[in-house]
Structure 1
Amino acid sequence: MKKIAKYTLISVITLLMVACSDDFLEERPTQYLTQEQVTEAARLNPEVIAGSMAGIYSLMYQTGTGGTNLDHRDFGQKSWDIQLDMLSGNMSLSVNTYGWYRDLTQLTLMDDYTGNLHYMPWRYYYRIIRSANTVIDGLGGQDIVPELQENQWTMGQARVMRAHSYFYLSQLYTREYNAGKAILPIYTSTSQENQAKSITSDVFDLIVKDLEEGISLLDGYMRPTKTEVDANIAKVILAYALAYRNEGNDMTRAKDLTNEVINSGGYPLTSTVALTGGFNDVNTPSWMWGVDLTSDQDLDLVSWWGQIDIYTYSYAAAGDVKAIDAALYSLISNDDVRKAQFNPDAGTFYLTPYNKFYDPDRKVSGQRNITTDYVYMRIEEAYLLCAEAAARSGDEAMARTRLKEMLENRLPDVSYIDGLSGDALMNEIYKQIRIELWGEGKAYLAMKRNKYNVVRGSNWAFSPNVIIDYNDTRLMFEIPQSEIQNNPLLNDNNH
């Protein structure tokens, strides 16, 4: 695997300025660069501000980026991929020894908004927003198109990352889309003081605008690694946002955007061999967005791999077992290649993803220093979202075509899809989202935008065999107490 590029000291200082304060709105210490110095440096040397973007990407995999030091569920974006898969009913906590995720899977998440689980995602996503705003301000502000091409590409990345964070906040901290409901404070510049909640429609207007302008700014950008976002990544994120909002022609636009990504030809579907090949290498051709982890990042038991992979030295192997929900597993046909991703043998590791996510050495508790990579997005998401948006916008022929294309190397016969329409077609698409993207955090998004209830199977350590409404407050987060105390304008925590 390639080494992640290292940046200059001044870039690191710029990152520290925006990423390491204890309070989201804390004034910057005087020993760090001022915003004016950042702006001037960016004008003279684009590598300086590009280094700040590299710092933002590092927040996605570093431990403690949700603001904690000792919580072993706090390790960036993949932290929330796990918890969203649990909330969607896809990933069961089948054995629990150390207590991590107990409250989440016991469905007592909402009982205490003073706890870390409410604080960490809020802290993490607003930390990225704050960092993105520093880059945007350093390039002149969101209404400016920088003169230098390199700075245009950096501005585009910052706008996409800001939108990505607001989108996830809109999913975690609300029950469902309600245009007039006040949900989140909006910050578009580092100079803003505390803000009250903005209504949902305003939050989504910002998300859509950021992504549309990000796509334009990233035109022609050839990223050096898959760690960075590009126009195709932005198009898929925009399609997610539009499909969730679902106003006017949003669904048709979501279909068209995902078709553009598919037709770009940049990413082939995951091969049959790779479907049980470990999902551990960012160079896998179907991976659109991910990070090449090396020993330099110094990740070990506090990591996504540590929580999921029984071949990594950490919780999955030692007593906090994560498995596919038994009811979902039963929906996978026996001739489906993906059935082999999960351990069928009864015992402690029953239904663990031992053939989907694993360290290549395949020694239980073997990998100590994490060098297996993180995936954030695969091309299969574009196919599945395209099929969904097509079906929901009335283009069922397109929906069937995209679904069949994705399944052709997973099932020996996909002709049954030709006979599906209406609810049967939508149910099949949703089922395939849950199966294909197991462990990747995307089923929760599909659950909320399509309003499917959670149906748990029998292999949960807590609260098995229950049905939960998609908008049940037990499946969402509350604005944390600490944030309400720091921002008196957030005086209404009622969703």
Structure 2
Amino acid sequence: MKNKMLNKITRKIYMLLLALSLIVTYSCSERYLDTVPTDSISEAAAFSNPDNIDLVLNGLHRQMYSSELNGGSGSRNGESHFLPSLDFISGEVIHTGPGFNWMKGEAQWLLHTNANSTTVFNFWYQRYHFVATSNAIINNVAASDFPETPQINRILGQAHAYRAWAYWRLVTTFSKGYIIGDPTTDPGVPLTDGLGISEGAPRGTVAEVYNQIENDIDSAIEFLKVASAPDNKSNISLNAAYGIKARVALSKGDWTTAATNAALAREGFPLLDEAGWDIGFNSVELSEVIWGSRIIDTESNFFSAYFYYISFMFNGGECRGNNKIIDIELYEDIPATDYRNKAWLPLAPNTNSAAYNGQGGSFEVDPNYDDAASFDAAKAAIIAEYGATSRHNTHPYMNVKFKQSRPGTNNPDDVIYMRSSEMVLIEAEAKAMMNDISGAQDALDILASERDSAFDKTAFTTQDALMDQIKFQRRVELWGEGFGYHDKIRWDEGIDHTNSGASLNIYGDGFIQERPSANDDWVFKIPQDEINANSFLTEADQN
């Protein structure tokens, strides 16, 4: 039944006018257009004028966080799901209890290694949805006689940027890392022009996919330089396009391009100060947010929301029964002079009787407490300070980095995709890899001295010392924001939870994983449905 439904889905683009968003759905294995008069508008109408094309583009803005993409499955849609999932796979964010067991399979390395899992299907499907919709925009504008205007340039700039972003997300997840592999021969992902291919496409090489990505992001930048200003931060601005280019360059070891574009991306987006950092990363209006989705109540995905997976105080069973913690060894390396140490609570009482470490439920098993009064008082103080409910559990090293704007509810908060802090760290890493010691020190100092009053850039005088510090800064600053998986691939680092606070009994295969260059399981399996539907792919193409 699933395959029959998939085949129907993969043979349509649905252009649904939903409020002010036109949601276009499209499968990577479908190669022609069909309209449904009862619930969609025709292709001709959708692309008949720039205002209508803007509606198509708005559909992509919404699909960045939505869980309602046709053909996808429930909660595993959008960056609301995939940002935290990539940090669970990489072991950067650690489960402490059963909750509702969301993303435990990712942490256990059971889902991205399974070609039949919903996780790989939706990651693949959604990214090709972005590719196909971007293709439709680009191809239809090219075939039109629209005059060049700032609006058209903004539309084309964002369409090229989305296509670059989508292919980059695909090739860095379903293929071997550029730096650790052989991009000229390693299989990448299919490159498709969307509506012009009859029966799918073969896998290009990693290098070929990167060539397409780089051409697209360069085109995006040129269009956006002469475009009208974006409506809000959910749009891909010129700064965000520079940021995407910096990420792409970093992932392939093009250090000069990475450093240059990271610096351009963060212009006009000053770093958060301590008060701003403490707000809790719940609003795109924070000064250093370059790109993110503003979530409004009427468009909330509630129990598919980003904060449901990552925040302590969201009122859902996953949050109440499964506090997410930082790697204990990483936390212990945060200096007392670094205000980010307040984002995790090392002495929070372990109130969950189902805690994986076997030390939860009462002061009698929690080594940090000697009596019921202090144990109960500590929980009560945390609940009061952060606005959770009495049903929420607490756990040592639990995260309070992500704070709900309306704590103790299941109301939505914004999803942040790009911050200037990340751009500073890209610049620092790129300069360190070029062995530009002073340049890397100066870039690192921009962020680290803001976060740590005692930071001394001159303590890091070699490439190795700088890279160790840059890795530390990324892991702390960007914790829970979805960077762990790709960072570990780029750095060729494995997973070892021996002293992290994770439970071997629960984590299973995810407890220890060899480095990516020696371990093909870091590469996502291609969805079996795609192997079956795409005539250019066979079982030999499976990762």
Q: What TM-score, normalized to structure 1? A: 0.88
Q: Separation in 2 of the partners of 1:119 and 1:76?
A: 12
The corresponding residue for 2:526 is 479
Amino acid at match of 2:141: L
Note the residue ranges of structure 1 that are not aligned, 5 or more in a row: 1-8
Alignment match, 1:3: none
Q: Judging changes above 3 Å, is the alpha-carbon distance between structure 1 residues 353 and 409 closer, same or farther for their aligned structure 2 residues?
A: farther
User: Is this contact kept in 1: 2:167–2:213, CA < 8 A?
Assistant: yes
Matched letter for residue 234 of structure 2 = T
Match of 2:224 among 209, 218, 241: 218
1:4 is aligned to: none
Find out whether 1:459 has 2:502 as its counterpart.
Answer: yes
Q: Counterparts of 1:306 and 1:203 in 2: how far apart (Å)?
A: 34
Deviation of 1:151 after TM superposition, in Å, equals 0.8
1:245 equivalent in structure 2: 252
Q: Does 1:359 align with 2:366?
A: no
Q: 1:322 to 1:473 in 2, by over 3 A?
A: farther
State the shift of 1:35 in Å.
Answer: 3.9
| Distance in 2 between residues matched to 1:97 and 1:346, nearest whole Å | 17
Q: What's the offset of the Cα at 1:140?
A: 1.2
Listed as ranges, the matches of 1:10-409 within 5 Å are: 12=18, 18-19=24-25, 24-25=30-31, 27-31=33-37, 32-39=40-47, 41-42=48-49, 46-65=50-69, 67-70=71-74, 72=75, 74-109=76-111, 112-140=114-142, 147-177=148-178, 178-179=182-183, 180-193=185-198, 194-220=200-226, 221-246=228-253, 250-262=254-266, 264=267, 266-344=268-346, 345-347=348-350, 348=352, 349-350=394-395, 354-362=399-407, 366-370=408-412, 372-409=413-450
- CA distance in structure 2 between the partners assigned to 1:21 and 1:240 by the alignment: 26
SS in 2 for 1:280: coil
Distance in 1 (CA, whole Å) between partners of 2:337 and 2:30 is: 50
Q: Does structure 2 conserve the Cα–Cα contact (< 8 Å) formed by 1:455 and 1:467?
A: yes
- Report the number of matched residues: 471
C-alpha change, 1:133 and 1:140, in structure 2 (3 Å) is same
RMSD after superposition: 2.6
User: Which residue matches 2:362?
Assistant: none
Task: Report the counterpart of residue 449 of structure 1 in structure 2.
Answer: 490
CA–CA separation in structure 2 for the residues paired with 1:114 and 1:432:
36
* Alpha-carbon distance between aligned partners in 1 of 2:276 and 2:302, rounded to the nearest angstrom: 25
Change (3 A) 1:141 1:195: farther
Give the SS at the match of 1:409. helix
Asked if 2 retains the 8 angstrom alpha-carbon contact of 1:272 and 1:337, the reply is yes
Amino acid across the alignment from 2:302:
D
Q: 1:368, CA displacement in angstroms?
A: 2.1
1:305-342 Cα offsets, whole Å, 9 max, x none, are 11122221224323233222223222222321111101
Q: For 1:23 and 1:261, how far apart are their aligned partners in 2?
A: 34
Bigger shift: 341-350 or 119-128?
341-350
Larger Rg: 1 or 2?
Answer: 2
Counterpart of 2:521, as a letter, is R
- How far has the Cα of 1:416 moved from its partner? 4.8
- Alpha-carbon offset, residue 404 of structure 1: 0.8
Q: What amino acid is aligned across from residue 208 of structure 1 in structure 2?
A: E
SS at match of 2:96: strand
Q: 1:364-388 deviations in whole A, cap 9, x for unaligned?
A: xx21232x21111110011000000
Shift of the alpha carbon at 1:16? 5.5
Partner secondary structure for residue 269 of structure 1 = coil
Q: What is the CA–CA distance in structure 2 between the aligned matches of 1:23 and 1:367, rounded to whole Å?
A: 40
Among candidates 501, 508, 516, match of residue 470 of structure 1: 516
Task: Determine if contact 1:183/1:197 at 8 Å carries over to the other structure.
Answer: yes
Identity %: 23
User: Per the alignment, do residues 163 and 93 of structure 1 end up closer, same or farther by CA in structure 2, a change over 3 Å counting?
Assistant: same
Amino acid at match of 1:104: E
How far off its partner does 1:50 sit?
1.1
- Alpha-carbon displacement from aligned partner over 1:419-477 (angstroms, at most 9, x marks no partner): 33121111111111111000101232222222233332132441476353134333331
Distance 1:25 1:91 in 2: 39
Q: Does 1:422 align with 2:463?
A: yes
477-486 or 439-448, which moves further after superposition?
439-448
Partner of 1:240: helix, strand, or coil? helix
Matched residue of 2:121: which SS?
helix
**2:235 touches 2:291 (CA, 8 Å); kept in 1?**
yes
Alpha-carbon separation, structure 1, partners of 2:496 and 2:433: 23
When residues 237 and 111 of structure 1 are mapped into structure 2, their CA distance, relative to the original with a 3 A threshold, is closer
Is 1:24–1:127's contact at 8 Å kept on the other side of the alignment? no
Name the counterpart of 2:8.
Answer: none
Q: Retained in 1: the 8 A contact 2:27–2:129?
A: no
Shift of 1:199: 0.8
Q: Please give the alpha-carbon distance, in whole angstroms, between the structure 1 residues aligned to 2:418 and 2:314.
A: 22
CA distance in 2, matches of 1:475, 1:66: 28
Residue type at the aligned position of 1:174: S
2:168 maps to a residue whose letter is F
Distance 1:98 1:355 in 2: 20
Equivalent pair of 2:80/2:306 in contact (CA under 8 Å): yes
The one-letter amino acid of 1:155's match is L
Q: Distance in 1 between matches of 2:279 and 2:20?
A: 39
5+ long unaligned stretches in structure 2 = 1-14, 353-393
The alpha-carbon deviation at position 494 of structure 1 amounts to 4.0
Once residues 353 and 153 of structure 1 are traced to their aligned partners in structure 2, the CA distance between those partners, rounded to angstroms, is: 42
Q: Matches of 1:259 and 1:224 in 2, distance apart?
A: 23
CA displacement 1:220-271 (0-9 Å, x = unmatched): 442111010011111111111112122xxx2111111112234x3x100011
Q: Which amino acid aligns with 1:261?
A: A
Deviation digits for residues 178-217 of structure 1 (CA, Å, limit 9, x no counterpart) = 3122221011342223111111111000100100110010
CA contact (8 A) 2:309 2:318 kept: yes
| Deviation of 1:343 (Å) | 2.1
CA distance, structure 2, for counterparts of residue 465 and residue 17 of structure 1: 39
- CA 1:186–1:14 in 2, change beyond 3 Å: closer, same or farther? farther
